[in-house]
Amino acid sequence: MLRVISKQFSILLVFLIALSVNVFAKDVYIIHGYKSTSNYGWFHAVAQKLSKEGYKVNILNLPNADKPVLKEWLGAMQKEIQKIDRDTYFITHSLGGIATLHFLSETFKSQDKDFQVGGVVLVSPFDEELKKLPIFRSFTDKKPNYQILKNVIKNRVVISAKDDAIVPTDLSYRVARSLDADFIQTQKGGHFMESEGYTDLPLVIEVFQNFSAESKR
């Protein structure tokens, strides 16, 4: 009888541990950019490494990435992202950055509480019109509400390469300044695209490790 009880207790303990890991796991959403998908470049490598560190990673596929429309992307994000709290993080690339900032400023426009989002890591973001790509106007015609964003996002980091020929690093710097974010500028890296050889981006992992270290202080 004792063995049966012990076995049942062990099964229950394993179940409770698994349940607690699932409930308390930190969620990461990776948001792609123009002409991109969830299979793009460095997304999966970053997702695998973060998963090993205990994060639950979701890489979204947003509609009509070849002809993106902000309203459609926001609708898709609202369907895919059911819960946002202090254990929710976002990693974005290029156009995914401004889309995520709009999404968060819309989501929290009626909130007055501080720090409802764990953090954002924006890779090569912009919030101004790119003359070579007028297709992005629905994203850049209106600025996201940076005051709300600064209030609700605890950790804010922008990554940009000095030699980015698609989104000039000055544009990414201005996003960082508006967001009051840490600005990490690399000498090389271009637009951190798959075509430039980026199948991994260890710098993003370093940023998350810093997030973890700071949260333990």
Give the Cα separation of 56 and 18 in Å (integer).
13
Among 27, 160, 164, 172, which one carries the catalytic annotation? 164
Structure letter (DSSP) for residue 190: T
94 tagged catalytic: yes
Give the Cα separation of 120 and 131 in Å (integer).
26
Give the Cα separation of 139 and 127 in Å (integer).
8
Among 27, 32, 93, 94, which one carries the catalytic annotation? 94
Cβ pair 96, 191 in contact under 8 A:
no
Give the Cα separation of 51 and 184 in Å (integer).
24
Q: Which residues pair with 90 in a beta bridge?
A: 29, 120
> Residue 129 burial (CB < 10 Å; 0-12/13-18/19+)?
middle
Among 32, 93, 102, 191, which one carries the catalytic annotation? 191
Token pair recorded at residue 159: 């990554």
Give the Cα separation of 179 and 53 in Å (integer).
27
Cβ pair 106, 98 in contact under 8 A:
no
Q: Which residues are catalytic?
A: 94, 164, 191
